[in-house]
Structure 1
Amino acid sequence: MQHIIKSTLLISLLFLFSHTTLANTTIEKEIAQYIDKNLAKSKAMLEKTVNINSGTMNFDGVKKVGAIYQAEFDAMGFDTQWVDGSKFNRAGHLVASYGNSGPKILMIGHLDTVFAKDDAFQNYSVVDDSHIAGPGITDMKGGDVIIIAALQALKALNLLDNVSIKVVMTGDEESSGRPLSLSKKALVDAAIWADIALGFEDADGDIKTAVVARRGSIGWQLDVVGKPAHSSQIFTDNVGYGAIFETARILNSFREQLAGVGNITFNPGLIAGGTEVQIQPENSIVQGFGKTNVVAKEVTVKGGIRTLTSNELAQAKKVMQDIVADNLLHTSATLTFADGYPPMSPTDQNYALLKMYSDVSESLGYGPVAPVNPRNAGAADISFAADHVDMAIDGLGLMGDGGHTKDEVADMSTFAQNMHKAAILIYRLGESYTQ
Structure 2
Amino acid sequence: MTERQHTDQALIARIDPAALLERTRSWSAINSGTHNLHGLTHMAALLADAFAVLPGELSLVDGDAAESVGADGAITRLEHGRHLRLVVRPDAPVQMLFTGHMDTVYPVDHPFQTLAWRDANTLNGPGVADMKGGLSVLLEALRIIEAAGTPSLGYEVLINSDEETGSFSSARLIAEAACGKCAALTYEPALADGTLAGARGGTGNFSVVVRGRAAHAGRNPQDGRNAIVAASDVALRLFEARSPALAVNPARIDGGGPNNVVPDTAVLRVNFRPGDTGEIERARTLIGATTRAVAERHDVSVEVHGGFNRPPKPIDAGAARLFALVKDAGSAMSLDVAWRDTGGVCDGNNIAAAGVPVVDTMGVRGGAIHSTDEYLLVDSLAERAALSALTMSRIAEGALS
TM-score norm. by structure 2 comes to 0.85
- Between the aligned partners of 1:174 and 1:308, the Cα distance in structure 2 is 21
Q: Is the partner of 1:268 in helix, strand or coil?
A: strand
Q: Aligned residue for 1:46?
A: 24
Matched, 1:112 2:103: yes
Matched, 1:55 2:33: yes
Matched, 1:97 2:93: no
152, 177, 187: which one aligns with 1:200: 187
- Between the aligned partners of 2:400 and 2:44, the Cα distance in structure 1 is 33
Q: What displacement does 1:95 show?
A: 1.1
Q: Aligned residue for 2:383?
A: 417
Matched, 1:287 2:255: yes
Matched, 1:385 2:337: no
Q: What displacement does 1:136 show?
A: 0.8
The 1:24–1:307 alpha-carbon spacing in structure 2 relative to 1, beyond 3 Å, is same
Q: What displacement does 1:224 show?
A: 5.9
- Between the aligned partners of 2:224 and 2:165, the Cα distance in structure 1 is 41
TM-score norm. by structure 1 comes to 0.79
| Alpha carbons 2:96, 2:182 under 8 Å: kept | yes
Matched, 1:147 2:138: yes
- The superposition leaves residues 323-344 of structure 1 with CA deviations (integer Å, 9 ceiling, x where unpaired) of 3333475534525141452214
Identity of aligned residues (%): 21
- The superposition leaves residues 291-338 of structure 1 with CA deviations (integer Å, 9 ceiling, x where unpaired) of 36x766554312222224332111112123323333475534525141
149, 162, 166: which one aligns with 1:172: 162
| Corresponding letter in the other structure for 2:208 | Q
Matched, 1:362 2:345: no
Matched, 1:338 2:298: no
| Alpha carbons 2:124, 2:375 under 8 Å: kept | yes
Q: Write out aligned runs for 1:322-337 (5 A).
A: 322-327=289-294, 329-332=297-300, 334=302, 336-337=304-305
185, 188, 191: which one aligns with 2:172: 185
Q: Aligned residue for 2:234?
A: 250
The 1:74–1:298 alpha-carbon spacing in structure 2 relative to 1, beyond 3 Å, is closer
RMSD in angstroms over aligned alpha carbons? 3.0
- Between the aligned partners of 2:60 and 2:230, the Cα distance in structure 1 is 49
- Between the aligned partners of 2:115 and 2:148, the Cα distance in structure 1 is 31
| Alpha carbons 1:214, 1:374 under 8 Å: kept | yes
Matched, 1:32 2:12: yes
Structure 2: segments with no counterpart, 5+ residues: 67-78
Q: Aligned residue for 1:312?
A: 279
The 1:203–1:34 alpha-carbon spacing in structure 2 relative to 1, beyond 3 Å, is closer
The 1:246–1:226 alpha-carbon spacing in structure 2 relative to 1, beyond 3 Å, is farther
- The superposition leaves residues 269-291 of structure 1 with CA deviations (integer Å, 9 ceiling, x where unpaired) of 221xxxxxxxxxxxxxx331243
Q: Aligned residue for 1:374?
A: 342
| Alpha carbons 1:55, 1:61 under 8 Å: kept | yes
Q: Is the partner of 1:432 in helix, strand or coil?
A: coil
Matched, 1:79 2:57: yes
366, 372, 388: which one aligns with 1:400: 366
| Alpha carbons 2:200, 2:312 under 8 Å: kept | yes
Structure 1: segments with no counterpart, 5+ residues: 1-20, 272-285
- Between the aligned partners of 1:149 and 1:250, the Cα distance in structure 2 is 50
- Between the aligned partners of 1:267 and 1:374, the Cα distance in structure 2 is 17
| Alpha carbons 2:211, 2:301 under 8 Å: kept | yes
Moved more, 296-305 or 163-172: 296-305
- The superposition leaves residues 85-143 of structure 1 with CA deviations (integer Å, 9 ceiling, x where unpaired) of 59663220111122232321100011111222232222222221110011111111111
- Between the aligned partners of 1:80 and 1:296, the Cα distance in structure 2 is 52
Q: What displacement does 1:84 show?
A: 3.8
Q: Aligned residue for 2:48?
A: 70
| Alpha carbons 1:53, 1:117 under 8 Å: kept | yes
Matched, 1:122 2:121: no
